Structure 1
């Protein structure tokens, strides 16, 4: 049966788990060593739900498991009574406090999380948390990179804080890790969206993936609007930097360029990069390349004695007929006519 109220949701989500029962029974002698805790989580409690590995520096990284990869997202209530030691993720994590409060440490900074607080954690950002008490209820939402493909490209093409956060986390080569904390006020649209998202997710027998994706899309859209209002100028500055980098790349490589290679260079998804170029320049990549190549061809016709055949090759074309057709469409003249008129005008 589908959950219909917050009370039903809270009763289901806050039921003490077998893991927590076991922790309470062994709390006095629960191990503090990270290796022992990892073994317990893997073998006794985890049941293969979470993939965790420790690197050569002793840092634990959590990876999406097969279920995460299949669904592209997972929602779990945060386990109570034990500290979560410092670790990082290969996915974006959202932490949302339904009741009570707790303290998490992010990049060495202690953050107090109270009821209604939401925190979005970048990939690979180091974080830990102190134990939750009996009355604290916190959910973790994990989102894989693939989650943001498809319909969420519409979100990522917007000029706002959330889209830039996701872009930098999942698609940028930048190694800086960030987090975003935001308070969700009671009774607001965002609070209702989160409530409905959780109701849908925990209505396990009647769960609708389409509905969940819809709630996520609306959630990120509304968060973007609310947060962007207070950070608009910073976003514009960052977006202008991205725009200039893309334009410089295209100008430097217009002779031999394709979308997939360019996307790999910027570590962007090709679909996102295509949308971003169209949004920023009002033209797609093909149109931008034609514009740059025709501009360069006209300069070479005006200022050099290069043959048209050499110019064709110089601006990145391999087919002379194709070049002639595009040039005439652009300037209304053939390359020979264009050069003749320029010479006559100058003399």
Structure 2
């Protein structure tokens, strides 16, 4: 049956886990013997309900990855562990932290932030963060969203020019080091609070849980959040989005000879359809036209500044079909490559 109220939800998700029981036992032994064990067993730390894999990256920073179950489902919601501090780490997914009850302190980029009931924080893929222990009465959920989660219907959301979509764009841009986060207070009785409530009730009703309903709640949630997030917080995100545009253009200029939309999407960790829309939006033309312009510009430079034959230039700028190159060049410059080279030389003389 479907959970009907927050009270039922709290009863379901606020039950102590095996990990928490072990932590409390450890703390109790410490109080009695004034001595902590050297380590908590791995099987206790991981637990059956954990949705992430913890590893050290090449720089020694603890990085969490979604497990296979989450990769398949693309979304997971879990209650935040109580009684112990969570040390500095980062993750390979977008995380939403939402305080249902009580409060706690998390540190993001060296800054301590008080999180109270109703506070919501969206963390991107790169931000290093930690948190102080939650107490008995604190109740916080972490929502994990993989990059693939934003495929499909979420392309409609991300095609909008708003603070939330720009935040997600920047976060999913895998080479970005901006380490952004957004904090927002959800007021009691608002549309966003009701959406979050229904989302959690749907997710924690396993017998009737609908992925379609969950996707719908998220779509409405992000739409409503985009309307409430202040313009001031969006300014920083738009600056970061401009950096993404610059790096896309830099990639095109460096890889124009043989790149494709799918290769670019893979490099930037974007869905191909979304990357295509982003390029059209930011540059006013599609990738095919941009590549054509870059190739023609490079061909004209080579004709003007080198002694390379036209045949070699054709290969140098990424073409394999001579006749197609000649056709495109003549359409662009109103003359053949040989005529262009002759005219340029005459003008310089």
Q: TM over 0.5: same fold?
A: yes
Measured after TM superposition, the shift of residue 233 of structure 1 is 3.3
Measured after TM superposition, the shift of residue 190 of structure 1 is 1.8
Measured after TM superposition, the shift of residue 198 of structure 1 is 0.7
2:134 counterpart (125, 132, 148): 132
2:154 counterpart (136, 149, 152): 152
1:40 counterpart (26, 44, 60): 44
Distance 1:136 1:334, change over 3 A: same
Measured after TM superposition, the shift of residue 28 of structure 1 is 1.5
What is residue 335 of structure 1 aligned with on the other side?
A: 336
Distance 1:243 1:86, change over 3 A: closer
In the TM superposition, what are the counterparts of 1:122-271 in structure 2 within 5 Å?
122-227=124-229, 229-266=231-268, 268-271=270-273
Q: Does 2:2 match 1:2?
A: yes
Measured after TM superposition, the shift of residue 277 of structure 1 is 0.8
1:85 and 1:294 map into 2 onto residues whose CA distance is 53
2:84 counterpart (65, 82, 85): 82
2:180 and 2:38 map into 1 onto residues whose CA distance is 24
Distance 1:219 1:304, change over 3 A: same
* Residues 105-114 or 12-21, more deviating: 12-21
2:301 and 2:128 map into 1 onto residues whose CA distance is 53
**How many pairs align?**
343
CA contact (8 A) 1:97 1:137 kept: yes
Q: Does 2:311 match 1:291?
A: no
Q: Does 2:93 match 1:102?
A: no
Measured after TM superposition, the shift of residue 194 of structure 1 is 1.1
CA contact (8 A) 1:324 1:334 kept: no
TM-score relative to the length of structure 1: 0.80
Give deviations 1:130-182, integer Å, cap 9, x for gaps. 33223221111112233233333443444343334334433332345343222
What is residue 71 of structure 2 aligned with on the other side?
A: 69
Measured after TM superposition, the shift of residue 46 of structure 1 is 4.1
CA contact (8 A) 2:51 2:76 kept: no
Query: Which 5+ residue runs of structure 2 have no aligned equivalent?
Result: none
CA contact (8 A) 2:19 2:45 kept: no
CA contact (8 A) 2:102 2:139 kept: yes
What is residue 28 of structure 2 aligned with on the other side?
A: 28
Measured after TM superposition, the shift of residue 276 of structure 1 is 1.5
SS at match of 2:39: helix
Aligned CA RMSD, in angstroms, stands at: 3.8
